[in-house]
Structure 1
Amino acid sequence: MKTIGMLGGMSWESSADYYAALNRGVKQQLGGLHSAKVCMLSVDFAEIEQLQHAGDWQQLAEILAGQAAATERGGADFLLIATNTMHKVADEVEAAISIPLFHIADVTAEKLLADGVQKIGLLGTRFTMAEDFYKGRLTNKFGLQVLVPDAAQQDDVHRIIYEELCQGQVKDTSRQVYLKIIDNLFARGAEGVILGCTEIAMLVKPEHTTVPLYDTTALHAEGAVKLALQEDS
């Protein structure tokens, strides 16, 4: 079994879900007392959040690159960045390590294509929805058409992530806000919606809507388990 490297803490709420999903996945495949081999470094999210909203992505890239290199030295065979937003600096992180970076957008796109989806809605932080590092990868590498909420809706989605979900607060009123936005994306032609922030699945689950949801945390973890258990060729 390969050792999964994981950069966590962004936020720790979703990192806890990641860790549980990795271990559940390995146990399901191997049974008994088996669990995942994980080398995780967890950051102080308050520092990360401040740099994000200050727009200091260079400093963020340096922090995560350093943490990634330390994870590799700790024995990781490949790396997960356990957050969608920080894939904005994925290229810089990848350049700092010699092990593969398992990109969250790629495993999500592969699932969409397997399901025959061509037009997809995207929810996430404002950075993920408004900028091109995530949407562009889905379009340019996989040929997907990506729809995002309007500016006011993006503000609501972003605010709820940082002020509530990242602090472990799950409110029904906020769920209704998200469900209305999801319905709007579906009405615009989206065949499903990517939960493109690792905290959103805490709030919105498949039983809350008939619109197909793609939980990036679950997909990333599931793909990582498969990779960890693959036989070396």
Structure 2
Amino acid sequence: MRTIGLIGGMSWESSAEYYRILNQGVRDRLGPTASARCVLWSFDFAEIEALQHAGAWDGLTARMVDAARRLEACGAELLLLCTNMMHRIAPAVEAAVRVPLLHIADPTAERIKAAGFRKVGLLGTAFTMEHVFYKGRLAARHGLDVIVPGQDDRARIHRIIYEELVAGIVRAESREAYRAIMARLVEEGAEAIILGCTEIMLLVQPADSTVPLFDTTALHAEAAIEASLRD
């Protein structure tokens, strides 16, 4: 079993889900007392969130690279950046270490293609929905047609993530808002929806959508299990 390095704390609510999924997955495969071999670097998200909204990407990159190097020094043989949005600086992290970084978009796209879908809706922070680093990878590497909500809906999604989900707050009215937004994406032709923020799975479940949901948190962690156990 290879040691998995987790760059987490963005937020810890979803990092806890990564830890649960990794350990449950290894236990299911190897037996009731087995658990994942992993090391975690957990950020203070208040610091990260402030830098994100200030657009301080050089500072964010330096922090992610430092975390990756620390995990590598601790024996990590595979890295996970436990957040969709911070994959904007994934190339810098990959260049700074010798161990592989498993990009969160790739296992998600592979599962979508295996299910036979090509046109997908994307939910996430405004950074993820509006910048090319995520949509561009899905399109260029995987041939997916990605659509995002309109401006007002993007603002609502972003606000709920930062004001509620990262703080562990789950509100019924926010679930209804997400349901309505997903329905509008389906009306625009989305055959499936990507939950492109690692906290969204705390709010919505498959029953909240008329098309399949692809939870990046679960898919990323499951791909890490497979990579860790691969010969």
Give the equivalent residue in structure 2 for 1:200.
Answer: 200
Maintained 8 Å contact 2:183/2:210: no
Code of the aligned partner of 2:53:
H
Q: CA RMSD in A?
A: 0.6
Q: How far, CA to CA, are the matches of 1:204 and 1:118 in structure 2? A: 22
Q: Give the deviation of 1:211 after TM superposition.
A: 1.7
Give the equivalent residue in structure 2 for 1:176.
Answer: 176
Deviations 1:31-82 (A, max 9, x none): 1200000111000000000000000111100000000000001000010000
Code of the aligned partner of 2:132:
D
Q: How far, CA to CA, are the matches of 1:32 and 1:124 in structure 2? A: 35
Q: How far, CA to CA, are the matches of 1:115 and 1:208 in structure 2? A: 19
Give the equivalent residue in structure 2 for 1:120.
Answer: 120
Deviations 1:115-167 (A, max 9, x none): 11100000000000000000000001111000000111000000000000000
Please list every run of 5 or more consecutive structure 2 residues that lacks an aligned counterpart in the other structure: none
TM-score, with normalisation over the residues of structure 2? 0.99
Q: How far, CA to CA, are the matches of 2:146 and 2:186 in structure 1? A: 12
Please list every run of 5 or more consecutive structure 1 residues that lacks an aligned counterpart in the other structure: none
Q: How far, CA to CA, are the matches of 1:209 and 1:111 in structure 2? A: 18
Deviates more, 1:7-16 or 1:205-214: 205-214
SS in structure 1 of the partner of residue 128 of structure 2: helix
Give the equivalent residue in structure 2 for 1:70.
Answer: 70
Paired residues, what number?
A: 231
Code of the aligned partner of 1:58:
D
Map 1:80-159 to 2 at 5 A: 80-159=80-159
Code of the aligned partner of 1:89:
I
Is 2:161 aligned against 1:161?
Answer: yes
Q: How far, CA to CA, are the matches of 1:208 and 1:195 in structure 2? A: 12
Code of the aligned partner of 1:16:
A
Deviations 1:13-42 (A, max 9, x none): 000001000000000101120000011100
Q: How far, CA to CA, are the matches of 2:179 and 2:32 in structure 1? A: 39
Give the equivalent residue in structure 1 for 2:211.
Answer: 211
SS in structure 2 of the partner of residue 102 of structure 1: coil
SS in structure 1 of the partner of residue 181 of structure 2: helix
